[in-house]
Structures are given as structure tokens and as C-alpha cells.
Amino acid sequence: MNGFENKTGAELLAIHVAVMEALRERGVLRSANNPTGDLAEYLFCATFGWQQAQNSAKGFDAMDGSGTRFQIKGRRIHKRNKSRQMSAIRDLTGFDFLAAVLFDDDYRIMRAALIPATVVTNRATLVEYTNSHKFILRDDVWDAPGVVDATERLRIVEHV
């Protein structure tokens, strides 16, 4: 039992809206979209002190103090969909590193990594229909040259 059995669909959606708004007010989310991407951006920027780019920035989501550009992606893995495919990457040349995190069903961090753009480029597949690239965050990515496991660092911020 989750405590929601006696709530109507409308009541549950109102709770969802209130939770999303509370997360925006706390700075965890920036948009009204699915929270996975915003949460990933928040965690990486809070952990590493990166400056989030404007939503309209082409090819990257954040930058560090030395000018290194980061594309940030998150994927929530749950019982109905176990895919590790990150959301579409439109520009493979717009970032220096892909900062990627896998969340479990409850948005807890499973694994996270900082992946050099060369590794992403070598493993990404062009999807002509959307003119974008797909990248699947498989376990062997952590073994690729230059990849940094960021899991434990993000977990510190996750519980703040």
C-alpha cells in the first residue's frame, strides 16, 4: 500500500503538480518537463560547481570555470522500461564531456559518469529520422579510456 489508494486520478495529478512546483522553487528543476533531465543537471552542477547554460544553449548544458562544456543526460530505469538509452544528442561537437546518470525507479542514483566526447562519438549511432544521435549507457562505458566514475560524488548531493 502506498497511501494513494483512495485518491482520484485528479487528486493524484494535483499532488504531482504540487511536488513538481516545490522542486522548481528549490532550484532542483528548471522546467515543467519530465524531471529526469532537470534532476541530472541539478545534481552534476551542484556536485561539481558547474554553471548551468541557458536552456537555449546549443550543444551543452553546463560549463566549468575553465570553459569545459558538459552535455548532461539522465535516464530513469524502472520496471516498465529498462532501457539505458539517453535522450537524443543533437550535436556531437558541442560538448567536451557527457555527464550521464542512471536513476532507479525512485530517482536514486544507480551509476554516473563523466565521459569524454570522443568516447560518446565512437559509441553513438546516428538516427536519421530525428537527425540526432543515440547513446546507450552500458556498463562497459565505465571501462573506456578517460571515463570518470562520478557515482559516489553525486550521491553526496543526492541526499542533501
Q: Which CATH class is domain 33-158?
A: alpha beta
pLDDT at 32: 80
In this prediction, residue 114 has a pLDDT band, given cuts at 50, 70 and 90, of: very high
Query: pLDDT tens across 55-113, in order?
Result: 778 899 999 999 999 999 999 999 899 999 999 999 999 999 999 999 999 899 999 99
Residues in the chain, how many? 160
In this prediction, residue 123 has a pLDDT band, given cuts at 50, 70 and 90, of: very high
3-state secondary structure string, the chain?
CCCCCCCCHHHHHHHHHHHHHHHHHCCCCCCCCCHHHHHHHHHHHHHHCCEECCCCCCCCCEECCCCCEEEEEEEECECCECCCECCCECCCCCCCEEEEEEECCCCCEEEEEEEEHHHHHHHCEEECCCCEEECECCHHHHHCCCCEECHHHHHHHHCC
In the chain, where are the structural domains located?
1-32, 33-158
Supply the pTM of this predicted model. Answer: 0.90
